[in-house]
Each structure stands twice: as C-alpha cells, then as structure tokens.
C-alpha cells in the first residue's frame, strides 16, 4: 500500500512555489526577488533529494 511521504510532498509544493516566484519576479522586473527564489529553490530541492536518498537507504521508499 502506498503511503504519502508528507515531508517530500511539502518540499515538492515549496519548490513549485519557488518556481512560480521566479516567474512572478521576472514579470515584476525584480532581480532581487528572482535571485532569492532561485536560491530558495536550489536549497529546497537539494534538501529534498537528501531526504529521499536517506529514505531509500533505509528501505522506507
């Protein structure tokens, strides 16, 4: 039975929000906002991959 991995779902939603933030920042001509969104996206995705690797090593994924 498949169970939802809530931390991974939360991180995926947060990454999608960061991607939308990049688009909104570009639309608003906000370089600072775009840079912040890109940095946040890289951090969130890296953290998500780290958690996923740990879950896979523990056989929980």
- Domain residue spans in the chain? 6-57
Q: For the segment 9-61, what is each residue's pLDDT rounded down to a tens digit?
A: 999 999 999 999 999 999 999 999 999 999 999 999 999 999 999 999 998 87
Collapsing DSSP states into helix, strand and coil, what is residue 2? coil
Q: Model-level pTM?
A: 0.85
């Amino acid at each position: 039975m498949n169970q939802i991995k809530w931390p991974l779902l939360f991180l995926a939603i947060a990454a999608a929000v960061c991607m939308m933030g990049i688009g909104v920042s570009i639309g608003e001509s906000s370089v600072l906002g775009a840079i912040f969104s890109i940095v946040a996206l890289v951090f969130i995705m890296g953290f998500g991959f780290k958690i996923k690797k740990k879950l896979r090593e523990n056989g929980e994924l």
